[in-house]
Amino acid sequence: MSKKHVVFIGFMLFSLFFGAGNLIFPPIVGLESGSQFTPAIIGFLITGVLLPFFAVLAVALTDGGIVAMGSRVHKVFGIIFAILVYLSIGALFGIPRAANVAYELGFQQVLHANGQVALLVFSIVFFGITYYITLNPSKIVDRVGQILTPILLITLAILFVRAFMILNNPPLQATEKYTASPFTAGFLEGYFTMDAIAALAFGIVVINALKGKGATTNKQLIKGTISAGVVAAAGLAIVYVSLGWIGVVIPKTETFENGAQILTLASHLLFASTGSLLFGVIVILACLTTCVGLISACASFFHEIYPKLGYKSYATVFTLLGFSVATFGLDAILSFAVPLLVFIYPIAIVLIILSIAQRFLPESKTMFRLSVLLTTIYSVYEVLSSLGLKMEMFTKLIGFVPFFENGLGWFVPAVVAAIVGFVVDRASGPTSEATLTHEH
């Protein structure tokens, strides 16, 4: 396996992560943080880049991937959690969301088409191209890593270089949340990109790509994953900082509700009539590569746990499901999927961190079980809250912990539970049951 192959796999991983959500979050961070941009973007990079990198690494370090990670809690939990992750970021949310964003921020920007018929026609073409690229997983690195990602990077580079040459407006005064705590506010914005969940799915795509390029041993797979992850993380960090900076220096002649409006104006200012075309190409490419990765990851995973159906059959199923859900429109997709993601995300973060820690610690199932149990309680609360249910007694019972108001109430209990669980297992000595062996 050559270094060139690892670099292209890194490019592929960058493209899989870099969907439209990643495109529109950083500019609004830059606009709202203003003079506090530096600490805000550092916080954003920790949860928007570092945590997804850890997630891909955790999958590579764990023999059996996401199922094995969850099975440290319980075998049934491992399977159910993995299925929920793949369905939520796949057919139920990630795939149709990316297609709809490509339509609203890409296709409509270029052709100004609107209506259900336009969405249907666009979806047919978009999913047709996605399906063609996904159909042969051994070609994904070549088609995405060597062709689509360089085009995406070149297009972004044109935008960034032009912006650095022309835009120089003074930053706004930071908004209230960025004035009070810019690092924490940026951290939370990166948290809501949901890339850590996607990374759990993309891990299997990276492993398969490395195997396809000649990696045969666990050592080669881990080393290749780390190297590809560094390439992807470096690319994401550069792009996020550049996008955030555009939000800082954009002319403040109008009110912006989201990052898409900032980038649309920037494209018009920098490239006049061709600005819409440039921005549309960036959005469509970003969404297309993300959909390719999600469909491939879902097809690979379900083929692995139920191999009676082939990879191509699963790819067909997830393409058709994604297409069907996409026709409902973005608002319907978000209202349906957000409660599911709110439930999954904290549990995913805990499993990622503990799986990496477990690599360097004596085996401890209680550490996983207690930490995930408490995290699940807080996740259930957040789901019920997102559905508009009032739970005053429940709030009083669990709402005393730090960061509760920010939706991060699970964090401190999860850390404490992990420490307690580990100490309990060390104090009780080696268990008689067959424990999970260290990976590799």
pLDDT of residue 439 exceeding 70, the answer is no
Higher-confidence residue of 328 and 75: namely 75
Q: What angle do CA 110, 112, 118 make, to 5 degrees?
A: 105
Q: State the pLDDT at residue 436.
A: 44
Mean pLDDT of 33-43: 94
Name the DSSP class of 407.
T
State the Cα–Cα distance between residues 24 and 33, nearest whole angstrom: 15
Q: State the pLDDT at residue 337.
A: 66
pLDDT of residue 122 exceeding 70, the answer is yes
Mean pLDDT of 234-239: 93
Mean pLDDT of 233-251: 93
Q: State the pLDDT at residue 23.
A: 81
State the Cα–Cα distance between residues 273 and 275, nearest whole angstrom: 5
| Among 258, 289, 324, residue whose Cα is nearest residue 104 | 258
Domains along the chain? 3-327 (1.20.1740.10), 336-440 (no CATH)
* Highest mean pLDDT pick, 214-223, 256-265, 343-352: 343-352
pLDDT of residue 429 exceeding 80, the answer is no
C-beta separation of 231 from 210 below 8 A: no
pLDDT band at 433 (very low <50, low <70, confident <90, very high): very low
**pLDDT above 70 as % of the chain:** 95
State the Cα–Cα distance between residues 135 and 370, nearest whole angstrom: 41
Q: State the pLDDT at residue 437.
A: 44
Q: Which of 178-182, 284-288, 384-388 has the lowest mean pLDDT?
A: 384-388
Q: State the pLDDT at residue 430.
A: 57
C-beta separation of 284 from 108 below 8 A: no
Q: Which of 7-11, 16-20, 43-47, 102-106 has the lowest mean pLDDT?
A: 16-20
Q: State the pLDDT at residue 88.
A: 82
Q: State the pLDDT at residue 20.
A: 65
pLDDT of residue 64 exceeding 60, the answer is yes
Name the DSSP class of 405.
G
State the Cα–Cα distance between residues 132 and 348, nearest whole angstrom: 31
Q: State the pLDDT at residue 432.
A: 40
Could you give the maximum distance between any two Cα atoms of the chain, in Å? 71
Mean pLDDT of 54-71: 88
State the Cα–Cα distance between residues 3 and 231, nearest whole angstrom: 11
- Taking residue 230's Cβ as centre, other Cβ atoms within 10 Å add up to 13
Q: What is the DSSP string of 133-154?
A: HHS-GGGHIIIIIIIIHHHHHH
pLDDT band at 24 (very low <50, low <70, confident <90, very high): confident
Mean pLDDT of 291-309: 90
Mean pLDDT of the chain: 86
Mean pLDDT of 332-356: 83
pLDDT of residue 440 exceeding 60, the answer is no
State the Cα–Cα distance between residues 132 and 135, nearest whole angstrom: 5
The pLDDT tens digits of the residues spanning 347-385 come to: 999 999 999 998 888 889 999 999 999 999 999 998 888
Q: State the pLDDT at residue 246.
A: 93
C-beta separation of 26 from 243 below 8 A: yes
* Highest mean pLDDT pick, 188-202, 230-244, 247-261: 230-244
Name the DSSP class of 60.
H
Cα distances (Å, whole numbers) of residue 357 to 5, 57, 200: 29, 12, 16
pLDDT band at 91 (very low <50, low <70, confident <90, very high): confident
**pLDDT above 90 as % of the chain:** 34
State the Cα–Cα distance between residues 86 and 301, nearest whole angstrom: 8
- Taking residue 359's Cβ as centre, other Cβ atoms within 10 Å add up to 14
The pLDDT tens digits of the residues spanning 131-171 come to: 998 988 777 767 777 787 788 888 888 889 988 898 888 88
Sign, Cα dihedral of 4, 141, 93, 267: positive
